[in-house]
Structure 1
Amino acid sequence: MDADLSSSWDMDDEYEKLIKRMNPPSVVMDNEACKNATVIRVDSANKHGILLDVVQVLTDLNLIITKAYISSDGGWFMDVFNVTDQDGNKLQDAGILNYIRKSLGADSDFIPTRNRSVGVESVADHTAIELTGNDRPGLLSEVSAVLTDLKCNVVSAEVWTHNTRAAAVVRITDESSGSAITDPHRLLGIKQLLCNVLRGNNKIREAKTVISNVEINTDRRLHQMMFADRDYERADDNIQDEQKRPSVTVVNWCDKDYSVVTIRCKDRPKLLFDTVCTLTDMKYVVFHANVHAEQPEAYQEYCIRHLDGFPVNSEAERQRLIQCLEAAIERRVSDGLKLELCTTDRVGLLSNVTRIFRENSLSVTRAEVATKAGKAINTFYVRDSSGNPVDAKIIDYIRQVIGQTILQVKGRSEYSNSPPQESPTRFLFGGLFKSRSFVNFGIVRQ
């Protein structure tokens, strides 16, 4: 049966390649058509998921999509995007322009199938672990401590929390060899211990740990994991203030047999990817769309049908779609104070840093952990574990412990990155971050 399924997939790929040869995709980039953005036009044979693939290519380059016009009626797909770099400038870098052209144009491997994933990392040199469970203060600290005890080095991680749930994709290597962990017995032990940590004392909601050996796009996978974990379901006693929630409406356009989805919310990077990803994974097809995403507010309008050709056909389906889109928008919202850490990477670094946070009553709401050329480049969004605003004195103390130049506060003027006045403890803590364990100094309780 597996052979038959593989043969069927191969036939599908060959058919799609034939369609591509008959109707090669076209990519046109114009820096003259718009005063303040580069206009990118993509024409291609239509296929479910193609819009997400195009948006993902642009998003993975950290480009800002300020406007988009999408039309995919019939067998042809036509998109126009106005994009800038992160500084709001037109695209001038020849390398980026060539990458877009090669990724989406006629000479690309641009076939939106199950096998294609944009912006993924090879798993040959690391082991990917997917985690979902109940969120609680100190969870990231506990997970990273377990991995350190198991002689695992965290090379990258992405952590999201939303609506009392947490999801993470963590990439690890063996501490001694620096390569992927392949021993099935060791992997089983890692999986079981992490699952116990995620479960905690919560006996109601399930915790999951999955060892992944396939290439994945981390952002899309996190959306899928949280969707499968039903983070979009809100408890009656945990209803967010209506004014803080994004505005999402779904109405049926009976004359055209479309359902029209309208979204209004605060603009932020990757917002378009998050909404298109959710619609695609929920098996909706976008036929037309109009997107305006110029600060501070974003407006998105989609004409959709389900993959079976029907619009939204019940109130229950309408409410579920609204809840899922709200959740997709909220998951990446940066709730908390932004801290950036940059230092020489070493085994146990993440465990030590997050333990310092936990011992000072800080809870991590989102985290991006990466290593590059021997450097750890980490971003944490933290808040007080009790829900109160973060105390500036605690942040100052943590920065003294870790290092003023190593850990910096971003985006909040009340927390200055400039060193505070000389302190009698400054020299005591100065070499702390070079130590293998914070426990040795008695600052962190065992």
Structure 2
Amino acid sequence: MSSARQFDDQQLPRSATVAELPPRANNHLQQCRDDDDEQGQDPEDDDPHSHRRRPLPFRQRMKHFTWAWYTVTMSTGGLSVLIFNQPYNFPGLRGIGFAVYITNIVLFAAITAGLVARFALFPGTLKQSATHPRESFFIPTLLLSLATLITSTERYVVSSDNDPKVMVAVQWSFWAYMVVSTIVAVAQYAFVFSRHRLRLEHTMPTWILPIFPVMLTGTIASVIADTQPDIAAVPIIVAGLTCQGLGLSVAGMMYALMAGRLFSAGLPDREHRPGLFMCVGPPAFTALALVGMGNGLPDGLDANFDGVTDALMLRTMSVVAAVFLWALSFWWFGVAAMAVVMAPPRYFHLGWWASVFPNSGFTLATIALGRAMRCQPILDVATGMSAVVAVTYVFVLCHLIRAVWIQDIMYPGRDEDVEDT
């Protein structure tokens, strides 16, 4: 097999020719192709960008089954929650949402089994994936998938069951998720700071991912607080607000890096521009969480014990803050959409799912604001946004199936572990 490798995958298109590569990459790639010529091989047979690349057996392709596959389940889970929260209902809609919820559970189990198979078949790949400067950033998508499973389970299963044991199980799942996501965020960023030297001009939206699960703690709190007794709901909301603040603050620092990269180096390569939609998520999910946690406060809350009910004031403040954050999400959505329209990607990447999950949060935040302000036009717009998200999900899913079939992904040089191939 050719030792030709893709250089600087964050910047170069998959279809880059030798002339388009920087001198260092150009010299190395040419040397590898010369070696192939000496061995009597056609270098294009192993070029991951060539249509003549040789087919690989499925077992060998499993080596490139990466953590980024969890973007499928976090998007599917986000869609199931979005279906449940639709402002307009019709017969069968809840059944469709439940079917998507069950499908997400099956997909989550299948992807987990696939990763276990990869690590078992190819010893050492677990450590490589956890330390890889690109693939490791997708490890938190596992936690994001779990967050969507918790919230969708609350919507489709727990909300219709007042069993105290079920409520306690939900509480424990929330606290466990909060602890694990916080540990992962601290540990992963500390490791990146100590082991990798990432350049500003290579800043990518995936750098936000390690803090994203912490942020979703607030979203989970906003969903489960309504069904919890007051004595349990208030601590959950306080913890959720704390984690939401931490997540948004760190995401703000990542935004500063992203803006610096956009000003100094321009937009990412066309193949990675759908990832810009990831920037829509943090403010959108924070807006959703603030409105939800405000609604989850006990009606008789008197924080200062002065006889004045504080719940109404806090709910009003949460809506005002959510409007500000929604506007930031809208701006990032416009930037990402324009970037993709100007240069659509040629090849499928699992990063395409960034156009689904963050935009699901954006749409959910729109629905929450429409309900909080009792504004029918906003709910009408949110319904249209929901339809767009559903169509986008089907579009990306169809391209995913096609990409697996024609070996556009799960192939050396075409996945998030590209530097290891």
- Which range, TM-score by smaller chain? under 0.3
Q: Give TM-score scaled by structure 1 length.
A: 0.25
Higher relative contact order (CA 8 A, sep 6+): 2
Which structure has more strand as a fraction of its residues? 1
Q: Give TM-score scaled by structure 2 length.
A: 0.26
